[in-house]
């Protein structure tokens, strides 16, 4: 096939990107330049740098960081064990299965599980810990988010671990490396690409979570996603909502550039 023929096949792809990626981003940029009365203004951007929104940005970052960190902490060992099990496909299916269920349904289930009279508190009672407030705390927010995002962290790490050449581990042991050193110097650096894509798949959506902040955190955790939702649905201040979205997009782009950049460094 000639080069020219091949480029025709790319047309649908370019169309898709133009219509569903570039056009929406441009529209958001455009809307962010108008105030409530439809007048051109940069006031929305000025407004973003007030304590309310800066604090919100920091909160969003902090929680997105916590969610990513805990997901990684659970997902890496899980993915590692997964590569060592017999019925890999079955276990993998069990991890993917919950992602087929609607996110809101899963979230609603946790309202019951974490409730004052829910099974978790009943268990606490059995052990004599007594009733705890779990629902509507930062903890429950992070826990439920980690639960929801964990398959997206496990899968890329799992495939990176699968590609790992096992003879490298034997070689490391032959050369006298301890288990920890082998992990630190051989396994982890070779699977870093999986960790990186897992972190991206979790961190970026975690930044803009909104329904879980109300259902599980009872609006005690306010993220940028909450603000966008409110501006579009309640105040109909599309300008300010778009401005928040522009900053989110900028932050995400920056994050991807930073993580993408270091990949090249490793490959050299």
Which residues would be at the binding site for another protein (CB under 8 A)? 36-37, 52, 55-56, 59, 111, 115-117, 133, 135-136, 214-215, 217-220, 222, 227, 230, 233-237, 240
What single DSSP character describes residue 166?
H
Q: Please, what is the minimum distance in Å from the beta carbon of residue 183 to another protein?
A: 39
Q: Please, what is the minimum distance in Å from the beta carbon of residue 42 to another protein?
A: 17
Q: Which is nearer to another protein, 88 or 220 (CB)?
A: 220
The single residue listed with the structure tokens 């490298």 is: 168
Q: Which is nearer to another protein, 74 or 111 (CB)?
A: 111
Q: Please, what is the minimum distance in Å from the beta carbon of residue 138 to another protein?
A: 10
Q: Which is nearer to another protein, 50 or 267 (CB)?
A: 50
Q: Please, what is the minimum distance in Å from the beta carbon of residue 41 to another protein?
A: 13
Label residue 252 exposed, middle or buried (CB < 10 Å: 0-12, 13-18, 19+): middle
Q: Which H or E run includes 32?
A: none
Q: Which is nearer to another protein, 117 or 180 (CB)?
A: 117
Q: Please, what is the minimum distance in Å from the beta carbon of residue 63 to another protein?
A: 13
Distance, CA of 133 to chain centre: 26
Is 144:98 a contact under the CB 8 Å cutoff?
no
Query: Kindly report the CA angle at 126 between 125 and 128, in degrees rounded to 5?
Result: 60
Q: Which is nearer to another protein, 85 or 235 (CB)?
A: 235
In the three-class reduction of DSSP (H, G, I as helix; E, B as strand; rest coil), residue 209 is classed as: coil
List helix spans (H) across the chain: 3-9, 11-17, 23-31, 43-48, 51-84, 88-96, 103-114, 119-126, 138-163, 166-174, 179-182, 188-207, 211-215, 224-233, 238-267
Query: What is the C-alpha separation between 126 and 120, in angstroms, rounded?
Result: 10
Classify residue 176 as left (phi > 0), alpha (psi -120 to 50) or beta: left
Q: Please, what is the minimum distance in Å from the beta carbon of residue 114 to another protein?
A: 10
Q: Please, what is the minimum distance in Å from the beta carbon of residue 174 to another protein?
A: 46
């Amino acid at each position: 096939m000639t080069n020219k023929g091949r480029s025709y096949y790319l047309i649908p792809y370019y169309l898709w990107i133009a219509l569903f990626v570039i056009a929406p981003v441009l529209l958001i940029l455009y809307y962010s330049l108008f105030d409530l009365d439809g007048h051109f203004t940069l006031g929305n951007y000025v407004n973003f740098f007030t304590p309310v929104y800066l604090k919100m940005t920091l909160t969003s970052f902090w929680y997105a960081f916590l969610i990513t960190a805990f997901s990684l902490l659970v997902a890496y060992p899980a993915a590692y064990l997964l590569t060592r099990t017999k019925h890999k496909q079955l276990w993998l299916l069990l991890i993917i299965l919950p992602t087929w269920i609607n996110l809101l349904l899963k979230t609603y289930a946790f309202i019951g599980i974490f409730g004052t009279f829910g099974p978790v508190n009943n268990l606490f009672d059995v052990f004599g810990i007594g009733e705890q407030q779990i629902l509507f705390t930062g903890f429950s927010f992070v826990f439920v988010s980690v639960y929801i995002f964990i398959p997206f962290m496990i899968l890329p790490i799992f495939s990176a671990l699968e590609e790992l050449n096992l003879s490298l581990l034997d070689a490391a042991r032959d050369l006298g490396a301890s288990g920890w050193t082998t992990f630190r110097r051989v396994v982890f650096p070779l699977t870093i690409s999986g960790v990186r894509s897992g972190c991206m798949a979790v961190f970026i959506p975690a930044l803009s979570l909104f329904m879980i902040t109300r259902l599980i955190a009872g609006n005690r955790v306010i993220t940028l996603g909450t603000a966008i939702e409110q501006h579009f649905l309640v105040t109909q201040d599309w300008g300010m909502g778009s401005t928040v979205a522009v900053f989110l997009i900028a932050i995400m782009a920056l994050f991807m550039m930073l993580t993408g950049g270091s990949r090249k460094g490793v490959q050299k």
